[in-house]
Chain A
């Protein structure tokens, strides 16, 4: 799932080697169930809610959250996807990628946006996402849901909904997928 992040992290072309499993598939399912209920609890009007998944790791989480919110509230939730590559502050320092598509549901003015990503780390991706959202209008509020908060923030950004707080070393890699959350390392093959 974190294929994109992995290919962007030095050493380039490295391979992810799993070390410790911190959540299994059932833990992930329960975390999504809980986060979906927290989102409903905090946003009474589900009809004005837009889940914006960050490409690529946030997409499966947003879809899963959207399913649960839809079942529980009876309202379908709009889901968009956002690739923040063109808004990053490290353009020129990392590779250019082409495979993630932005597909936004149009004007966001007046909606409550929940940004969804797999792993929250330095916060720079979220900063880029906030800038990108601005191009789609003035959202009423923007909230952040992540499966894993691994710390090491470099910007004043905090999540509203967290699957798991996970203390990590800076050089570790966290992989979150529907099958579970794994800590490991990226090593040159």
Chain B
């Protein structure tokens, strides 16, 4: 039982996909302008992650090793399409706010990364817990970042006007530069006060969406290539 809890909490704090593993940067920067769209993005990605982790774990003994990445991508893309259609039908405002970043969940490194690193090796229950933990960690990081950006940028929180801040909005926070800036400061904050030492300080191969099938993993900088290639 303790083991199961550890699998679940792993993604929320110690291996937070956004602030510690630095995965899925594009949606984090793009959808954190408002708390509501950030939560929508988090929920959509969690739903896709949960479904893909469960199914990949179920099929892990059936999928041949050599074609596993294309299989995972097709599975993930199908779940993304389902989520896209559901949001379009029942939550159009979120569908509209997320825009192009909704289909782009397919290429979100967190989902492919968890499929390859966790779901393909573990049982269904563990994979589902891992997906929930990682999804919650992703949503929480997005929520914190969106709260900061919306509070300072528009002077509101979840659409509610805040005292003082509403009179002095710093519009740049909701624009592109504010996204980079807040994200940089949040990672610096985690580096400084994080209970767990961050595993790495720069952007290396593990953060790359292609790391799972790249021939140059661990060689860094995408330039040094192992001499021998089949």
Does chain A bind chain B?
A: no
B-contacting residues of A (Cβ < 8 Å)? Answer: none
